[in-house]
Amino acid sequence: MRPDRLPPGQTLTRKFPVVGEKAPLAAALDLAAWRLVVDGLVERPLELAWPDYLALPHLDRPADLHCVTGWSRLDCRLTGVPLAALLERAGVRAAARFVRFEAWSERRHDTSLPLDFARADVWLVHAIDGAPLTVEHGYPLRTVAPGRYFYKSLKWLRRIELLAADQLGYWERESAYHNVGDPWPEDQRFTTGSVDPEEFARLRAATDFAPWRLPRRVLLGVDLAGWRPAGRDLTGLRIKASDLSGADFTGCDLAGINLSLCNLRGARLAGVSLAGADLEGADLAGADLTGADLSGAALSATRFFADLEGGSHLAARVEGLRLAGASGLLEDQEAFLAAAGALPGAR
């Protein structure tokens, strides 16, 4: 475990925010029918029933968890089985270079890691901090890779496949997350920016954002500081890790938008619908959220205030802010919103 335990841009929490899918396929919860398959480039393919997994030697391991949305949870105690022990039973063939993990998931959620790293770092986990996993955190069995952002870990494990060539996982395919995801040497949250100068000019002037709603279309690292959209319907767009500071969204509809890890400092959002939006890791310090609707929004590591140099304080305006059904608030932001009287309905 590293001595500098908090990666850049991360916020500590003792909560365990829920990210991604909330529930698996029903078959994952039927322990009588549950199976874990280990196949691909192995000498002895395995199929484990739940009693077979329980019969394996279980160990405890300390670990720190770092989510790409910006929260970190230190000193977790994982209980489970090192992946290396299971791979030893299966016998890894010489041609294997990568490990792919697949979930009991409606979208067939998956992720992959280089074999050498996975063998050293990944555990199969059924309990955290002495308690069984909850369903929303991966019950009955998940993987955890503490040395990578948490999207490289996987809930509701059903298959471990050994591969000669890598396959991009769900988040890498759908949201342009970085395929390495190492929190430490540099910012490996996303791939590089995705908008060339010509497209950027079209985006800034657009009155219809339909071309940017195509499947798997993610706008990354875009400088839209001070933007006032000419089109008012921004619903469902995915604009991530971008600069929207000082943007004026007055009169816009942002329901269901994904603005995760965006800089929204000083943005004008009064009366705007952000219902169901993904604002995980977004910075809203100094934004005008008067009367805005954040019902059902994902707010893991979202910031509504910031402490500045010299002891000054930059806070969002939150009078009349609606937060019913919003989730993921970390402790300091929750306390700020509660003190401002804006918290009823959030959890």
Beta bridge partners of 112: 100
Average pLDDT, the chain: 94
Domain ranges of the chain: 11-175, 192-347
Cβ contact 339:315 at 8 Å: no
Q: Which residue has the tokens 């942002």?
A: 254
| pTM for the structure as a whole | 0.88
Identify the sign of the CA torsion 35, 38, 39, 42.
negative
User: What number of residues does the chain have?
Assistant: 347
Q: Is the pLDDT of residue 209 over 90?
A: yes
* pLDDT of residue 194 exceeding 70: no
Is the pLDDT at 184 greater than 80? The verdict is yes
Q: Which residues of 293-306 are buried (b: 16+ CB within 10 A; e: fewer)?
A: bbbbbbbbbbbbbe
Judge whether 58 and 94 are in contact, CB under 8 Å. no
CATH class of 192-347: mainly beta
Quote the percentage of the chain above a pLDDT of 70: 96
pLDDT for position 119? 98
Q: Give the integer Cα–Cα distance in Å for 78 and 185.
A: 25
Phi, psi of 31 (to 5 degrees): -65, -20
- Residue 343: both structure tokens together: 């918290």
Confidence of residue 347 (pLDDT cuts 50, 70, 90): very low
Look at residue 89 and tell me whether its pLDDT is greater than 80: yes
37-45: average pLDDT: 99
CATH T-level assignment (fold) for domain 11-175: Sulfite Oxidase; Chain A, domain 2 (3.90.420)
